Amino acid sequence: MSKSKGLLIVYAGASGVGKGTVLKKVLEADKNMRLSVSATTRKPRCGEQNGREYYFISESEFEKLKENEGLLEYATYCNNNYGTPKKPVYDMLEKGLDVVLEIEINGFLQIKDKYPECITIFILPPSWEILEKRLKGRGTESDEEIKARLDRAKEEMEFANKFNYKILNDDADRAANEILSIINNIKNNNK
Ligand code: 5GP
């Protein structure tokens, strides 16, 4: 990728930390920012739409994408595969749009390695207890899946210091505003 016109932003945080809610507010406020839609072999949750939250694809379709180098990064998370389709991200960056990749830690490590200029943001929960309560309370996963996600969350939190910015999600509006001002500052400094 040549030096792109838009910013490449990696956005991560443990499952249940409320990162989707914060990001939605950021995307609503920043009209130059787009969310990359990932491909996954996970089954859609109730209310999720193909092409909106994810491209829900089969294992063999995922393998094909990987083989054809169609993914910018990919990882397995709690027994499902997830990956970022390369072309839409390049196209958006080329147009000058800022692109957010909402991905887990292995994806973050791959992107950081390939695109060291990327901006990396990690969302922290106010406390472990709150994270646990949120994850159990949303009712979208089985007990077994919740346990796997909590185990994974513990591992992911250890990577927080590798990110450029750590944002505490004590309040979704406050956290979103903090992110918006970080992005604004970066853009002003790049001018
Ligand atoms: P969920 O199943 O809750 O939608 O996502 C599970 C985890 O996979 C989250 O941490 C999410 O950020 C991550 N994820 C979603 N899309 C991708 C992707 O394209 N690549 C990687 N590496 N992780 C992803």
Task: Give residue-wise pLDDT tens across range 112-139.
Answer: 999 999 999 999 999 999 998 988 888 8
Is position 100 within any domain?
A: yes
Is position 138 within any domain?
A: yes
Is position 2 within any domain?
A: no
Output phi, psi for 154, to 5 deg: -60, -45
Q: State how many domains the chain has.
A: 1
Q: How many residues does the chain have?
A: 191
pLDDT at 1: 56
Is position 68 within any domain?
A: yes
Q: Which domain holds residue 134?
A: 8-189
Residue 124's closest CA among 25, 21, 26, 17?
Answer: 17
**Does 81 contact ligand 1 (Cβ within 6 A)?**
no
- What ligand 1 atom has the least distance to the C-alpha of 149? 6
Is position 3 within any domain?
A: no
Q: For residue 12, report the distance from its CA to the centre of ligand 1, in Å.
A: 9
- What ligand 1 atom has the least distance to the C-alpha of 15? 10
**Does 16 contact ligand 1 (Cβ within 6 A)?**
no
**Does 102 contact ligand 1 (Cβ within 6 A)?**
yes
Q: For residue 76, report the distance from its CA to the centre of ligand 1, in Å.
A: 9
DSSP 3-state assignment of 94? helix
Do residues 101 and 122 make contact, with C-beta atoms less than 8 angstroms apart?
A: no
pLDDT at 43: 96
Is position 177 within any domain?
A: yes
- What ligand 1 atom has the least distance to the C-alpha of 105? 22
10-residue averages of pLDDT along the chain (191 residues): 80 91 98 98 96 97 97 96 98 97 97 97 93 86 90 92 96 98 94 78
Nearest CA to ligand 1 atom 20: 83
Is position 1 within any domain?
A: no
Q: Which residues pair with 83 in a beta bridge?
A: 39, 74
Q: What is the CATH number of the domain that holds 88?
A: 3.40.50.300
pLDDT at 4: 61
Is position 116 within any domain?
A: yes
